[in-house]
Structure formats: C-alpha cells, structure tokens
Amino acid sequence: MPFMGIIVAVILTLAAAVPITWYVTSENHRKQDEIKVDSADARARSIIDEALREAESKKREAMLEIREETFKSKNELEKEIQNRRNEVQKNERRIQQKEEQIDNKVEQLERREQSLAAKEENLQKLQKEVSQLNEQRIQELERISGLTSEQAKEHLLKIVEDEVKLDSARMIKEIEAEAKEEAEKRAKEYVVSAIQRCAADHVSEATISVVQLPGDEMKGRIIGREGRNIRTLETMTGVDLIIDDTPEAVVISAFDPIRREVARVALEKLIVDGRIHPARIEEMVTKAQREVEARIKEEGEAATLEVGVHSIHPELVRLLGKMRFRTSYGQNALKHSIEVAQLSGLLASELGLDVRLAKRAGLLHDIGKAVDHEMEGSHVQLGAELCRKYKESQTVINSVEAHHGDVEPASLIACIVQAADTISAARPGARRETLEAYTLRLKQLEEITNSFKGVSNSYAIQAGREVRVMVVPEQISDADMVLLARDISKKIEADMEYPGQIKVNVIRESRVTDYAK
C-alpha cells in the first residue's frame, strides 16, 4: 500500500509538472521569436536606409549626367545656329551681289535698247530714201526703155529660162549620150553573153490536161453507174472532168495545177488497172497524191542541183518543186526561176560578184508564187517572209523584195536579179499576153503621151515597145524635145508595168512653104 501510495504521488507530481514545463518552454520560445522579429526589423530598416542612400546617390549622379548632356546639347545647338547664321549671311551677300549685277545688266539693256531705237529710226529714214531713189531709178528706166517693170522682169526671166533650158537640154543630151554609149556597150556585152550561155526552153501551159483513152468505151466506165465514179474522182481531186465527143480523150480542168496533176496521174493509173469503182478511185488518188508530192520534192532538188545552189532549207526546196506546176503568162514558174538564177550567175561573174549568192537570190526570187494562191499578199511579200522564216541572208531577202521595184535594191546582186528577171520575161516566146491586156497597154501608153502639153498625136508601135510622139513646133522647141522625152519616160515608168523597155521618140517637124509665080 505504501508502495502504491508512492506511485500515485509520483504520478500526481508528474501530472502537475507537465503543464508547468510546457508553460516555461512556450514562454522561452515567445521571447526568442520577439528577439528574432526585432532583429529582422532592424535589419530591414538598415536595408531600406541603405537603399534610400543608394537611390539618392544615383539620383544625384543622374541629375549631374542630365545637366552635362543638356549643356553639351546646348553648346552644339548654339554652334549649329551660329553656322546657319553664317550661311544665311553669305547667301544674303550673294543675293545682294546678284541683284546689283542684274540691276547693272538692266541698265545696260536699257541703254542698248535706246541705242537700237535710235539706229532703227535712222535705218527707216535710210530705207525711205533708198525706196524713193529706187522708184526714181525704175521710173527713169521705164521711161528710157519704154517697158514697165513687170514687162522687163518677164522679158528677163524668159531670156534666162530659154538660156537655162537650152544649156540644160544640151548638157542632159551630152551626158545621156555618153552614158548610153558606154552603158549600152557594156550592158549588151553582158546581156548577150549571158543569154547566149543560158539556153532555156519555154513551154506554154494552160489550165487543162488531156488524158488519152484506149477506147471510147472507157468513158462509160469512168462515168460509172449513175455517175458515181466521176463524182468520186472529182470530189477526191477537186477538179472538173470534161467527157465530150472528143474521141479517145478526157479533159481535166482545174486552176490548181497540182490538183490537176494528181487527177491526171490517178486517172491514168485507173485506166491501166481497169478496175474503176469508188473504193479503187480513192486508193489510186491517195497513191497519186503521194507520187505527186514525191515528184514535187524531186523537182525542187533537181532545180537546186541544176543551178548549183546548196544548203537550202528543205521546205524551200519543196516550195520550189511546187512551182513546177505554177505558170505566169504561160511561162513555167520553176523554169523561169532556174533561168533567172543562171542569168544572175552569169551576170555576176561578168561583174566580179559572188556567183553563188547571185544564183541563190535568182532561184528564190519568185518563191512566193508557190503559196500566193493559198495565202493573202503578193508573191513578193510572201517570198520575203518565207526567206526570213527560213534564215536566208539579207541580200537574198532584199533581192526578192526589190525584183519588181517594191523596195530599193540594197546591193548589186539585187539589181542583177532585177535585170535577169526582166530578160527572162521579155525574151521572145517566153510569155504570152492576152489580147485584152495587149490593147489596154497600148491605149494606156498613148493616153500618157497625149497628156503632155504641146503633143499633137502619139502612136504606140512594135507591140507597145516603142511610142512616137508628134509635137506642135510652135509650142515645143528643139531644146524642149529633150526634156519632154525624159518627162514622158519617167511618167511611163511610174504609171505602167511592162516587160523589157519602151522607146520614146519625140518628133518635131519644121516645114517652110513658098510659091514660085
């Protein structure tokens, strides 16, 4: 029991001691916290004071820097203002000097104007005096000569005009005579030599082809049942078949010579084959087209080989072959081009020029005729465009453009091609003209010559290659005849197109009549 009492006493003592211990401990912790708080406050105040001091110091430094910068800016601004003031003062001085110079010049101009005005007054006075003296001189001359000034002027001009006309006519006649003598001598040598060395045949072609038949019964087979064979052939080839009473012959009519040739070849094949029906006709027309196209190529290549011109674009060679089936005034276009090329080469060799280039220009001068029925434009324009397209030289292009005088020749080769083209076209038998064109040219030639003053009558002779002009003797003098012949020639050249040349003969008749009684 006493032991249990001890235990109880100890427990009670411990129970009383725990709160006391907790209180003492918490009090100690509270005091320590207050000490820490006071220490932190003191440290914070010291930090704030230090920051305030640093801020104040930096503020003072910033103010000093701002003052320094302001001072520097102020000094620089003052210097700039001073410089500007100096420049303004210099400009003002310059302007003042220029104003003074202008004032001086204005004064000088005023003095000069005054001087000119005085001189002008004196000049007007002198002009009046000269005019009066001139009038007196004219009156005195009119009194002495018995003619007015207008009459004397006309008389003097007439004398001078007659003298100048006579001198110019004599000079023109002498120069033309010398030039013609020399030019004709050389030109005849060149042209005759070229013509003799160039032997070309001329074949007159028309717009029809004739196919011979083995017998008249073949006509019925060509026509076919209800005309289906002939319709098929005409539709496939684009030609007209004329089957009439002509024995053992069929006429193929078409303006396109290539179509006409295709139809001729196809019809001949059908006649040889004997089987004539629409399917066979289509087959033969296709074969004929291929054959004609191959022949066109061969003709073009043969033309280049004959002339000796190489490196021509294949398309130009094909177009040359097409010209084999093209005619102009009945003259075959390809044969004409070959002849012009040969003549151009011969003339170029006589003159010491590039023979190959002259032949090339002559061969291609009419290349536009191969397409002028398919495209718009003259054969000259189309030919020049084709030559440009296929990279021909500028000399060849100019020769194509100038061979009918559409543009001025830019080289001697272009002039040679002109001459060769004229020679080829004007040779006897080369071309044929219709009666209508022939009579129209003669009429136009006489109308041109009759339009000149002083012409009484004119007559075109030798198929229009010569015109004889009869003049009125009282109106046209011997000196005037030279000028009149020249003017008529120029007028004919400007207004007419003709192959070769036209000779102009001006005839003035002087007749004196008397009677013996």
As given in the structure block, the two tokens for residue 344 are 């151009």
Cα separation, 268 vs 274, in Å, equals 10
Q: What is the pLDDT of residue 201?
A: 46
Instruction: Select from 410, 390, 367 the least CA-distant residue to 311.
Output: 390
Q: Are 383 and 367 in contact (CB under 8 A)?
A: yes
Q: What is the pLDDT of residue 202?
A: 42
C-alpha to C-alpha distances, 81 to 59, 88, 92, 113, 235, nearest whole angstrom: 32, 10, 16, 47, 101
Cα separation, 469 vs 451, in Å, equals 11
- Continuous segment of H or E residues that includes residue 323: none
Residues 6+ positions from 444 with CB-CB distance below 8 Å? 495, 496
As given in the structure block, the two tokens for residue 514 are 């008397």
Instruction: Select from 332, 293, 331 the least CA-distant residue to 314.
Output: 293
Q: What is the pLDDT of residue 203?
A: 43
**Residue 212 β-bridge partners:** 249
Q: What is the pLDDT of residue 23?
A: 62
Cα separation, 288 vs 264, in Å, equals 9
| Maximal CA-CA distance, the chain | 225
Cα separation, 455 vs 472, in Å, equals 6
Q: What is the pLDDT of residue 95?
A: 92
Q: What is the pLDDT of residue 196?
A: 47
C-alpha to C-alpha distances, 181 to 185, 187, 458, nearest whole angstrom: 6, 10, 27
Q: What is the pLDDT of residue 149?
A: 63
Q: What is the pLDDT of residue 330?
A: 64
Q: What is the pLDDT of residue 20?
A: 65
DSSP 8-state code for residue 247: T
Cα separation, 82 vs 400, in Å, equals 80
* C-beta neighbour count of 505 within 10 angstroms: 14
Splitting the chain (517 residues) into consecutive groups of 10 residues, what average pLDDT does each group show? 62 65 68 79 85 86 88 89 90 90 89 88 87 79 67 70 70 71 61 50 53 78 82 85 77 80 85 84 88 88 87 88 77 84 87 88 87 79 89 90 83 87 66 59 86 88 80 84 87 78 84 75
As given in the structure block, the two tokens for residue 51 are 């920051």
Token look-up 């011109």 returns: 309
What is the tens place of the pLDDT at every residue in 160-177?
777 676 677 767 777 767
Q: What is the pLDDT of residue 180?
A: 67
Q: What is the pLDDT of residue 193?
A: 54
Instruction: Select from 495, 484, 447, 492 the least CA-distant residue to 465.
Output: 492
